[in-house]
A and B are shown apart, each in its own frame.
Chain A
Amino acid sequence: MMRARSGGLRGWLPELAVLCTLIVAPIVFPHLGFSTDLLTRVLNWGLIGLGFDILFGLTGLLSFGQAAFFGVGGFVSAYLLVSHTIDSVWLALAIGTVAAGLFGLLVGWFAVRRIGIYFTMITLAFGQMAYFIENSPLSDYTGGENGIPGVPVPVLGFGAHAIRISAGMPMYVLFALIFFLGYVLARRIVGSPVGVILLAIKENTGRVAMLGHNVPAYKLTAFVIAALYAGLAGGLLGSFQSYMPPDAFSLETSGQLVVQTIVGGAGTLIGPLVGAAVWLWLRDNLQLIPGFAILWKLVLGIAFIILVIGLRRGICGEIAHWWNERRNLAAAKAAEAKTEAIEAHNIDAATKPVAPPKDVRLTLAEPMTGDSDIALEAKSLARHYGGLKAVDGVSFKVRRGSIHAVIGPNGAGKSTLFKMLLDEVSPSSGEVLLFGEKVTGVGVSRAAQLGIAKSNQLNQLFPNLTVRKNLRIAALARSRGPMRFDLLRDAASIPEVEEQIASILSLLNLVERADTPAHILAYGEKRRLEIGMALATSPNVLLLDEPLAGMSPAERVATCAFIRDIGRSRTVVIVEHDLDAIFELAERITVLYEGRLLADDTADEIRRNPAVQDAYLGGLHAHEPA
């Protein structure tokens, strides 16, 4: 699977391996039935695949319309050259690539707002639209069903010294070079903060948004990157075969790319290349066997189904998985053993008797706020679901620097109220102010950027990423803002972010577990990580939704101490059923009952309030008609 580089020569191992393979390939592979032309074709597919893998393998967005960008890049380059608008093949390739990128921007702008089936159908529809536009309205330029013949090959140098990059070996060298550069660039992108966030989007899109990243913008970035790669490959195809075929635009082409990626292994970058090698080799070689000529695609289709059912990682993915498994077996075993020990004995690294108060100091600064004494204010918030009034006109204020609790029996509307505080759910009426600034209507990721973070009742982690990476994705949201194009920077190279992660790891008592995937953690550890991720965004206001749920008594004590530590430097709002813990922690308590505000007072007053006692013991029901 994709891994951030670990420094030194070892980090460049994949690049070296790809480079060696590219050099050796024209010597070795012809003996296996690959002609030089076939290898060049494989590289062309591999080049589209690099971009597609960033979109599908990394970000998890399945597009069935990549042919559109392949075709746009190809036809724009080919038309510019054949019409003699531009004579430099290099320039034409560049313009074709940019054109594909712009088309990607347009299509992506529509597509990334939708998920799952919708996303795939939109890309497919735009792909078909591009195909029919090429075929009819624009056929004066594109040749319609005939395509554009006579696309020239690239030339190196000027005048008498110019070298024409002709078919055969020179063309292979050119394609190999471009593929290699494309591969190195793609690896950089995967290891960059953008790449890390794209992977997180695949793992848990909702949480990425809740941490403050602009998810549609990141998805759009991945989409445009994929379009650029496809556009470049399209331009090169025209030059390679001196002909730009209209079927570059066809649905078949998009489908072939998807199949090749799955066969080779999604999420490995070179998977699509390997898949293309399998596809083209089968096509060219099975046709030579009598009786098999027509069956090659059937064989491929059956293999594809088997891969999707059983070996979802594909050829390269299975190899990488096996390799990593072997290398990390000991570490994984140890991590799992530790989890079992924690769960079996119900002891935890965090369970230390009476931990001394710690200072919660974070490297990344919180967002600037006004100097108002009220951190968070709910103004007659209401949320109706049809006839059900989950929350019905609730107002309260949270003082800056306090720990404020919201309690109420089941169904009182606490969780809905909480979700409205950071605009996760939009209220039917009313509004929320954060230091006087309106949060309602800005969306959950903007709310996070304004300085409000939430740990969820049900864990929302990135299960396959390590604890450190989970925290990194959170911290990056504060250090980089909603969106930034640092595609070439190493994600782990931002000192403030790494410092922030280190201090949170020690606060959470998860230092030893930093490199353990989140899904292996014990339950209590996962809960702490959930809170830690919210904290890693350096919020002004931290919302905790049932932080103690499911914890053992010892874990509760430790977590309460931790919450108190946090409460000394920032505002905390907490929803919890454990009333003993609440009365101990909170300065002020808001009580909800059946969606309405029942009381809002200091902890001591709430404890004495007869209406609150009745609500918890079900007393109010006695006065209502059954």
Chain B
Amino acid sequence: MLSWPVLISQAFNGLALGTLLALVSSGLTIILGTLGVLNFAHGALFAVGAYAAFVLLQYTSSFVLAIIVGCGFMLALGFLLERIIIRYFYDRPHEDQILVTYGVGIVLVECVRAAFGGNAQRVPVPSWGQGATQMGFLIYPTYRLQLIAIIAGLLLSLYLVLYRTSMGLVVRAGIENPGMVGILGINVRRAFLLVFAIGVVAVGLAGMLYAPVVAVTPDMGANFMAQSFVVIVLGGLGSFPGAVVGGLIAGEIISLTSAFNSSYSEVMLYALMAVLLIMRPQGLFGSEGRA
């Protein structure tokens, strides 16, 4: 029989995983919603983010500084990818978009492998996140607790950018009807460039923040990408609130199922996705317009 403390600690694990998935998926979903591109390089970008943290932490002792520089790097990478490849695919069929981003993913992962080898790397936990925190009957690693707070803050700021700035308004209008936004005389292409880069930064940040918790390998992103697909289907394709709620639900499903039988945790997640696609293909928050 399961004890309450085990269940609660699993729920907490679910929250930690869920917020992370929410951040990864929000990057995926704003790119999909605005540009109509399902980014199959998303998993690779997660790994690139983690390696960016790994490299930068060797040059600076400040985790915060490393993250900030890493964000700059991811932003530049996002600009570069959009300019040289992605923007030529806005008018091509979805299949081509999927294929080319999948190819970009392969190249990114192989570049990382060529530079750092295939072995797992360790990224140290920042000094302010060492140790564990006593929370009533539950003892929880401090960094993981902080991670929940940091990512919640990041999601909030992303929300503010999307919903409280004029650029965000353009982006959200672009999700609804990119053609109309262009007719109104707004430079949609520049908004697209920015959205893609923000999406890349979001997933890169997730990779950087998560790096101290896991083994950093070139292929670490693949599973996250598959899971974030589930999340955006759950939340509705292109919906930012959907990605956040969907991420939390997915995280809890994986963690709580593990409390009962760990071998079913991932199976449950994909089974849920299948059921949802049949019962409610538009997801929790979305409308099935963009597919």
The answer to whether B264 and A136 have CB atoms under 8 Å apart is: yes
Measured CA separation A568–B277 after assembly (Å): 48
Measured CA separation A331–B291 after assembly (Å): 38
Taking CB atoms and an 8 Å cut-off, the chain B residues in 188-235 that contact chain A are 222, 226, 229-230, 233
A118-B277 contact in complex given A60-B95, A132-B266, C-beta closer than 8 Å: yes
The answer to whether B267 and A301 have CB atoms under 8 Å apart is: no
A52 on the interface (CB 8 Å rule)? Answer: no
B253 on the interface (CB 8 Å rule)? Answer: no
Q: Which residues of the other chain, A, contact B88 by a CB distance below 8 angstroms?
A: 309
Q: Interface size bucket, A side?
A: 35 or more
B164 on the interface (CB 8 Å rule)? Answer: no
Interface segment out of the listed B109-117, B137-145, B239-247: B109-117
Taking CB atoms and an 8 Å cut-off, the chain A residues in 46-69 that contact chain B are 60, 62, 64
The answer to whether B98 and A295 have CB atoms under 8 Å apart is: no
Measured CA separation A252–B271 after assembly (Å): 20
Interface segment out of the listed A78-86, A120-128, A376-384, A493-501: A120-128
Measured CA separation A309–B102 after assembly (Å): 12
User: Which residue on chain A has the smallest CB distance to residue B94?
Assistant: A116
The answer to whether A305 and B266 have CB atoms under 8 Å apart is: no
Taking CB atoms and an 8 Å cut-off, the chain B residues in 94-123 that contact chain A are 94-96, 98-100, 102-104, 106-107, 110-111, 113-114, 117-118
Shortest CB distance B130–A (Å): 33
A304 on the interface (CB 8 Å rule)? Answer: yes
The answer to whether B98 and A120 have CB atoms under 8 Å apart is: yes
Name the one of A126, A255, A259, A297 contacting B270, with C-beta atoms under 8 angstroms: A126
Q: Which residues of the other chain, A, contact B273 by a CB distance below 8 angstroms?
A: 122, 125
User: Which residue on chain B has the smallest CB distance to residue A261?
Assistant: B99
A622 on the interface (CB 8 Å rule)? Answer: no
The answer to whether A121 and B95 have CB atoms under 8 Å apart is: no
A554 on the interface (CB 8 Å rule)? Answer: no
A176 on the interface (CB 8 Å rule)? Answer: no
Shortest CB distance B105–A (Å): 8
User: Which residue on chain B has the smallest CB distance to residue A300?
Assistant: B106
User: Which residue on chain A has the smallest CB distance to residue B271?
Assistant: A129
B184 on the interface (CB 8 Å rule)? Answer: no
Q: Type the 1/0 row for B247-283, where 1 means its CB is closer than 8 Å to any CB of A.
A: 0000000000000001110110011011001100100
Q: Which residues of the other chain, A, contact B266 by a CB distance below 8 angstroms?
A: 128-129, 132
The answer to whether A129 and B107 have CB atoms under 8 Å apart is: no
Q: Which residues of the other chain, B, contact A417 by a CB distance below 8 angstroms?
A: none
User: Which residue on chain B has the smallest CB distance to residue A250?
Assistant: B222
A308 on the interface (CB 8 Å rule)? Answer: yes
Name the one of A110, A298, A302 contacting B278, with C-beta atoms under 8 angstroms: A110
Measured CA separation A309–B270 after assembly (Å): 32
A438 on the interface (CB 8 Å rule)? Answer: no
User: Which residue on chain A has the smallest CB distance to residue B277?
Assistant: A122
B38 on the interface (CB 8 Å rule)? Answer: yes
A304-B103 contact in complex given A62-B98, A117-B291, C-beta closer than 8 Å: yes
The answer to whether A121 and B114 have CB atoms under 8 Å apart is: no
A115 on the interface (CB 8 Å rule)? Answer: yes
Q: Type the 1/0 row for A305-349, where 1 means its CB is closer than 8 Å to any CB of B.
A: 100110010000000000000000000000000000000000000
The answer to whether A132 and B110 have CB atoms under 8 Å apart is: no
B69 on the interface (CB 8 Å rule)? Answer: no
The answer to whether B100 and A305 have CB atoms under 8 Å apart is: yes
Name the one of B111, B274, B288 contacting A125, with C-beta atoms under 8 angstroms: B274
A295-B114 contact in complex given A129-B274, A136-B267, C-beta closer than 8 Å: yes
Name the one of B102, B104, B233, B288 contacting A121, with C-beta atoms under 8 angstroms: B233
A117-B38 contact in complex given A298-B110, A298-B114, A304-B106, C-beta closer than 8 Å: yes
Shortest CB distance A271–B (Å): 14
Measured CA separation A120–B229 after assembly (Å): 10
Taking CB atoms and an 8 Å cut-off, the chain B residues in 65-104 that contact chain A are 85, 88, 94-96, 98-100, 102-104
Measured CA separation A302–B271 after assembly (Å): 35
User: Which residue on chain B has the smallest CB distance to residue A136?
Assistant: B263
User: Which residue on chain A has the smallest CB distance to residue B117?
Assistant: A294
The answer to whether A298 and B290 have CB atoms under 8 Å apart is: no
A137 on the interface (CB 8 Å rule)? Answer: yes
Measured CA separation A300–B266 after assembly (Å): 31
The answer to whether A117 and B281 have CB atoms under 8 Å apart is: no
Measured CA separation A125–B223 after assembly (Å): 11
A177 on the interface (CB 8 Å rule)? Answer: no
Q: Which residues of the other chain, B, contact A259 by a CB distance below 8 angstroms?
A: 102-103, 106
The answer to whether A125 and B230 have CB atoms under 8 Å apart is: yes
Measured CA separation A239–B111 after assembly (Å): 35
Name the one of A60, A128, A312 contacting B226, with C-beta atoms under 8 angstroms: A128
Shortest CB distance A314–B (Å): 11
The answer to whether A251 and B100 have CB atoms under 8 Å apart is: no
Measured CA separation A133–B274 after assembly (Å): 15
Q: Which residues of A contact B (CB under 8 A)?
A: 60, 62, 64, 110, 113-118, 120-122, 124-126, 128-129, 132-133, 135-137, 139, 251-252, 255, 258-259, 262, 294-295, 297-298, 300-302, 304-305, 308-309, 312
* 15 contacting pairs across A/B (C-beta < 8 A): A110-B278, A122-B274, A124-B226, A125-B226, A128-B270, A129-B267, A132-B266, A255-B102, A259-B102, A297-B106, A301-B107, A301-B110, A308-B103, A309-B85, A309-B100
Q: Which residues of B contact A (CB under 8 A)?
A: 32, 38, 85, 88, 94-96, 98-100, 102-104, 106-107, 110-111, 113-114, 117-118, 222, 226, 229-230, 233, 237, 262-264, 266-267, 270-271, 273-274, 277-278, 281, 288, 290-291
